[in-house]
Copies of this chain bind each other. A is one copy, B any other.
Amino acid sequence: MAKSKKREPVILITNDDGVTAPGINALIESVEGLGKIVVVAPDKPQSGMGHAITIGNPLRLHPVHIFKNIEAWQCSGTPVDCVKLAVDKILHRKPDLCLSGINHGANHSINVIYSGTMSAAVEAAIESIPSVGFSSLDYDHEADLSVPKKYARTIVENLLKNPLDKHLILNVNFPAASKSAVKGMKICRQAYAKYEEDFVERNDPTGKKYYWLTGKFMNFDKGKDTDVWALENNYVSVVPVQFDLTNYLLKTKLEKTWKL
């Protein structure tokens, strides 16, 4: 039997900063030529939306022509909605890979749970689409993303050559450091580090009170195998993520204690 020509992989790209964010453009540029790219991203910033889905309202999809030779759509929903709609209504099949980002801001440690960028990646993996979320610790929208672009391409090339797992999710964060300062990649676990919340309390123009979320980032985790440690030491952190939230240790403990 003649060997059939290998099909070009389909790469779905999304983010949570919205389709016009520089980060998504950088991600497209970084993987150009590695497959057929289709973009489906939110039509407005959706940071902090976590794994929210739109169930009580309709969703809209509009084609956008802002990336050269790339099919792109903007969606009125959350990052997770974008992945769902892309598979069901645009691609009509599962892509080979889903990439999310590059996020303008950190998604290490507990941020993985709040992040729309990472939730899009998690959603893809639930659908058996291997996925990677990319985030830069540089919050500046005009930041130089050449380091993230270089590593993102290496990671995607690697995953396309050696598919590891249909439920694979990687949470990749880039330190805000120059090319020469970055020491390489490190495979890590999620640090127990989080924001210590504090709400700013103010009065609106009519004198009514309102609250605005703020917070100080605190690392309670002294491990040197965490994403926060890696980033502080100028490594690109790579955390493999899962969507089975079962706490198996606590399950064993409960089975012994509760004696059902």
Contacts and interface: CB of A to CB of B under 8 A. Distances in A.
A139 interface: no
The secondary structure that dominates the A interface is mixed
A241 to B, nearest CB: 5
A122 to B, nearest CB: 7
A61 to B, nearest CB: 7
A247 B242 contact: yes
Given A59-B211, A89-B211, A194-B126, A186 B260 contact: yes
Interface stretch (A1-9, A26-34, A160-168): A160-168
A213 B54 contact: yes
Interface string A171-209: 000000000000011111110101001110110100011
A130 to B, nearest CB: 11
Interface stretch (A64-72, A96-104, A107-115, A140-148): A107-115
Interface string A202-246: 101000111111000000000000000000000000111111111
Contacts of A246: 189-190, 239-242
Contact of A50 (B119, B244, B248): B119
A142 to B, nearest CB: 20
Interface of A: 45, 47-56, 58-61, 78, 80-81, 84-85, 87-89, 110, 112-114, 119, 122, 126, 158, 162, 164-165, 168-169, 184-190, 192, 194, 197-199, 201-202, 204, 208-213, 238-248, 250-251, 253-255, 257-258, 260
Given A50-B80, A242-B250, 4 more contacts: A48-B53, A48-B54, A50-B53, A80-B114
